[in-house]
């Protein structure tokens, strides 16, 4: 649990059912632990009950045999966020929803809300479909970067130049030889 909370620094967004004006002001976000492989089921059931659900997603590239495969996965596997007001007793339905193991709590006083700033920042970094976007940091020549996807996934390189069309030219050290490669800037993360 604590590890999941610590990882929240680096998402499918489902807004709550419409309510009276200003009703969203009293909603807090809470962390929900899911049953194994039950993200879709839990999301569907919580939304049916009128809860807002937020599950940040990231695109991950991995090697499968001799091919590269891109998959979407939850940023925090086994967890999602849901919004509700603790003043409304309906929030207790969350624990008995299909796919939900429990609301995360640290003592007997009940679940504690996740800091609003954290949720706002996560939502700001996601596109409309909930997919986490890379940070807006600008790369510059000399920076060390790691390829996030494609055939050079997880390779570390050094930025040599950036073209006006935002194509980044990097030097990979492969088998003792430097190889210059150009890729879109969003395919790299700064180290």
Residue with tokens 């009940």: 110
Domains in the chain: ranges and CATH: 2-124 (3.30.70.940), 144-190 (2.30.30.30)
Query: 67 and 23 in contact (C-beta within 8 Å)?
Result: no
DSSP calls for 9-60: G--EEEPPPP-STTGGGG-EEEEEEEPTT-HHHHHHHHHHTT-EEEE-EEEE
Quote the longest CA-to-CA distance of the chain. 64
**Chain centroid offset of residue 147 CA:** 18
What is the average per-residue pLDDT within 36-63? 92
Predicted pLDDT of residue 135: 60
pLDDT in tens, 4-24: 433 333 334 444 433 333 345
What pTM did the predictor assign? 0.62
């Amino acid at each position: 649990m604590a590890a999941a909370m610590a990882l929240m620094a680096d998402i499918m967004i489902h807004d709550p059912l419409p309510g009276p004006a200003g009703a969203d002001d009293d909603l807090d976000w809470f962390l929900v632990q899911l049953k194994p492989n039950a993200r879709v089921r839990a999301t569907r059931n919580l939304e049916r009950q009128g809860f807002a659900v937020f599950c940040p997603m990231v695109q991950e590239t991995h090697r499968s045999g001799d091919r590269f495969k891109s998959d979407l996965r939850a940023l925090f596997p086994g967890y999602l966020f849901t919004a509700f007001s603790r003043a409304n007793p309906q929030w207790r339905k969350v624990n008995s929803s299909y796919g939900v193991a429990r609301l995360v709590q640290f003592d007997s006083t009940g679940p504690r809300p996740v800091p609003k700033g954290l949720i706002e920042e996560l939502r700001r970094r996601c596109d409309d479909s909930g997919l986490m976007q890379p940070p807006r940091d600008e790369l510059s020549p000399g920076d060390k970067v790691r390829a996030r996807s494609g055939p050079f996934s997880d390779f570390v390189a050094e930025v040599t130049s950036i073209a006006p069309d935002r194509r980044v030219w990097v030097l990979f050290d492969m088998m003792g030889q430097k190889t210059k490669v150009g890729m879109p800037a969003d395919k790299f993360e700064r180290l």
